[in-house]
Amino acid sequence: MAIQKNKIYRAEIVDYTAEGSGVARIEGMAVFVPNTAVGDQCDIRIVKVNKRMAFGRLDRVIIPSHDRIEPACPVAGKCGGCCFQHISYEAELRAKFKKVDDALSHLGGTPGILDGITGADETTHYRNKAQYPVGQDAHGTYTGFYRPHSHDIVKTERCLIQSERADRLAAAVCAWMDAHNVTAYDEKTGKGLIRHIYVRTGAVSGETHLCLIATRSKLPAADDLIERLTKAEPSLVGIVVNINKRGDNVILGQHTVTLWGEPVLQDSLCGNVFQLSPHAFYQVNHAQTEKLYARALELADLHGGETVVDLYCGAGTITLALAAKADKVIGVEIVPVAIENAKENAARNGVGNVSFICADAGQAAMMLAERGERPDVLTVDPPRKGLDEQAVEAIARMQPPKVVYVSCDPATLARDLKRFAEYGYYAQTARAFDLFPRTKHVETVLVLTKKTNDQAE
């Protein structure tokens, strides 16, 4: 019998999707059910049926999984930020290892290369970057996070994965808005002033920086805002306003003005000091990033005489770490302000053997290939969409013997491994790193090497 919408079925959860939902098998069909744990025996209400799969909602847990725990977060299951608050951290690590291993094995055609997953020592308040959407109702101004697959804000006064400093500053902004009748931006009408509250914190420096995303630079009662914020968080070193008049859901606009203090946040990573503008990419979990980058350097295996190209270099965090071990490093990044940050960071740390190119990774790789650059090692740390075909082709044209790939999406990593294989590059070893405890996300670092003609035979 075909599975029926709105009907309740009893089934066991046997796996997880890449998005962190549980998977049950009902009437021979895969059913995806959020907020469930492998081993749960539960009643599932079917809410949507497609030709090959169905989607359900947890109605009742009959026999709980051994992995199931009581979520510490009051909005677990409602907010779209975390999907694993209801299972033990050990179970989460197993799920993430399997997610990466399945992608590498089944999609990437490289079974058996994942040698483990490095879990986090801290699973709460680990994020150094918080971006809160702002809403208003009859009770006043509030912040929170979007409900899954929507832009409905789930009110959240205290988030267990954000820094407590960020929560305090968000509350202070909301109080200022209520005190002065400052309006929150309404996506439906396009009216309102404050869109997002963006807070960054420095794990080593101890500094905190706040960016208000608004539809204009001039804020009412700015002096009161500054007073409230500096009182709420003594570590605050700067307040900036980013102007975003766009009608889409892109958070940051192009132009930023300083309201008070410093325009950037300073922090240290892998022994180097960085100044970070709101636009600059910086990994959100400092402790885990140092472990991830250490593994990337280990895989690069530099001895001092190498030329390295670092694509998607951001503010130069990996670039400068590579420069300490190589003869010359070329960093590539498409965001102009990030490239300026990278140049300033190199100068600040006295690193003279680096240069930077502001361009799309594929275009820059093609340009470097055309001018005859032959790096000994090439590193990539792309966004979730991975590398495009032009970038892979250009990398292959430069013929680096070794490519170190840092990935935040196992599926696009696996796809790119297939593309690299067409040019004779094969993954040798990989390791997963959990930079995002309680969420679906996981990082992977691996090394690809160019197969020689002798090996090909």
- Catalytic residue numbers? 408
Q: Is 393 annotated as a binding residue?
A: no
Lateral strand order in the sheet of 425-433:
114-118, 425-433, 443-450, 402-407, 377-380, 307-311, 328-333, 354-358
Q: Is 423 annotated as a binding residue?
A: no
In this structure, which long-range contacts are made by residues 407-411, counting pairs with CB atoms below 8 Å and at least 24 apart in sequence? 407/381, 407/382, 407/443, 407/444, 407/445, 407/446, 408/383, 408/384, 408/441, 408/442, 408/443, 409/384, 409/385, 410/18, 410/99, 410/100, 410/102, 410/103, 410/104, 410/442, 410/444, 411/18, 411/103, 411/107
User: Which among 340, 339, 342 is positioned nearest to 323, based on CA atoms?
Assistant: 342
**DSSP structure string for 74-111:** TTTTTSSS-S-TTB-HHHHHHHHHHHHHHIIIIISS-T
Q: What is the spatial distance between Cα 280 and Cα 292, in angstroms, rounded to a whole number?
A: 19
Q: Is 370 annotated as a binding residue?
A: no
Kindly tell me the sign of the dihedral angle through the C-alpha atoms of 70, 160, 88, 82. Answer: positive
Q: Is 168 exposed, middle or buried (0-12, 13-18, 19+ CB in 10 A)?
A: middle
Question: HSE-up of 291 (CA within 13 Å, CB side)?
Answer: 16
Q: For residues 226, 229, 232 and 238, what is the CA-based torsion angle, rounded to 10 degrees?
A: -100
Q: Is 207 annotated as a binding residue?
A: no
Q: Count of H helices and E strands in the chain?
A: 10, 22
* Cβ atoms 331, 319 nearer than 8 A: yes
E strand or H helix that includes residue 412: helix 410-421
Q: CA–CA distance from 94 to each of 240, 360, 431 (Å)?
A: 41, 36, 13
CA end-to-end distance (rounded Å), the chain: 53
Residues flagged as binding site for S-adenosyl-L-methionine: 283, 312, 333, 381
